[in-house]
Amino acid sequence: MDKDIVVVIGVGGMGRAIARRIGNGRKILLADVSEGALSVADVLLGEGQDVVTQVVDVSSRDSVAALADTAAGLGRVTQIAHTAGLSPTQASTEAILRVDLLGVALVLDEFARVVAPGGAGVVIASMAGHMGGLTPEEERIVAVTPTDELLALPFFEPDVLGSPGAAYSRSKRANIVRVQAAAGPWGDRGARVNSISPGVISTPMGQEELAGESGEQMRMMVSMSAAKRLGTPDDIAAAAAFLLGQDASFVSGTDLLVDGGTVAAIRPLLPVG
């Protein structure tokens, strides 16, 4: 009998936590652009998990397609968690668009081909996608534009965006929109797909952002939130486990905001329009 395959793309703090949370009894395929990062597989193997790895460049359709084909060759692809991404302190505007915008769209496309009936996928977006970024008309365009044409849209041009932060916010809003648009094609396979929008999470990437130029603003948002604390990778893994599991069998094409109430506190203070 084919083994159920869990695919985790991006093995940072969230990816590792998700793999640990949902991997028991399944074969885990870990994928990351960094071969060094994939050494986490040795840790999981030592914990008794069944793990294989593959290097992937999520900004390359060929690379993502090869990963999807590998997953399908291993067994029934029942759960896919896409956590790979770049933050504003880590990368240029162009790199963020390639990874955070195009990369998500490519994963949604290619894994729609191989996800098993009854399977599910989850994409890590961001609470930044809930605080502006795209107009309703731009969202409509993002929803229907072919994946390979996304980077050519005028409102994603680096000169228009002006900064990595703007590229990040717009890309994360686009993630939510593309997941909504993908729910139909995934549903045709008998599968579901959703997104999670984390708040400020204590991962290596999150700590890097807190130490950067936006750190003071992020700490202020945390202090204003309902939870008044940083999120943890386990907070996100718990949300992913729900969305990828049978308890969420009637949930698809939606975004789960896991931010400790940050957006609820901040949104009334944002400028209108």
Number of domains into which the chain is organized: 1
Whether residue 111 is contained in a domain is answered as: yes
Handedness of CA 75, 114, 119, 197 (dihedral sign): positive
Q: What is the pLDDT of residue 267?
A: 85
- Over residues 134-154, the pLDDT tens digits come to 999 999 999 999 999 999 999
228 is catalytic: no
Whether residue 151 is contained in a domain is answered as: yes
pLDDT at 264 over 90: yes
pLDDT at 104 over 60: yes
Q: What is the pLDDT of residue 89?
A: 86
Whole-angstrom Cα distance, residue 190 to residue 155? 34
pTM assigned to the model: 0.94
Q: What average pLDDT does this structure show over 109-134?
A: 96
- Over residues 170-221, the pLDDT tens digits come to 999 999 999 999 999 999 999 999 999 999 998 877 787 788 777 888 899 8
Whole-angstrom Cα distance, residue 13 to residue 121? 18
pLDDT at 1 over 70: no
Q: What is the four-CA torsion angle of 137, 61, 91, 146, rounded to 10 degrees?
A: -10
Whether residue 273 is contained in a domain is answered as: no
Q: What is the pLDDT of residue 206?
A: 74
Whether residue 243 is contained in a domain is answered as: yes
Whether residue 193 is contained in a domain is answered as: yes
Whole-angstrom Cα distance, residue 229 to residue 29? 32
Whether residue 202 is contained in a domain is answered as: yes
Q: Give the CATH number, domain containing residue 86.
A: 3.40.50.720
Q: What is the pLDDT of residue 261?
A: 97
Whether residue 119 is contained in a domain is answered as: yes
pLDDT category at 112 given cuts 50, 70, 90 is: very high
Joined tokens for residue 34: 């960094």
Please tell me which residue, 197 or 131, carries the higher pLDDT value: 197
Question: Of the ranges 112-116, 154-158, 195-199, 267-271, which one carries the lowest mean pLDDT score?
Answer: 267-271
Structural domain range at position 91: 3-268
The neighbour count for residue 82, using CB atoms within 10 Å, is 28
27 is catalytic: no
Q: What is the pLDDT of residue 273?
A: 56
- Over residues 19-78, the pLDDT tens digits come to 999 999 999 999 999 999 899 999 999 999 999 999 999 999 999 999 999 999 999 999
Please tell me which residue, 207 or 165, carries the higher pLDDT value: 165
Strands 192-198 and 255-258: parallel
Please state, rounded to an integer, the average pLDDT across all residues of the chain. 95
Q: What is the pLDDT of residue 224?
A: 92
Whether residue 48 is contained in a domain is answered as: yes
pLDDT at 114 over 70: yes
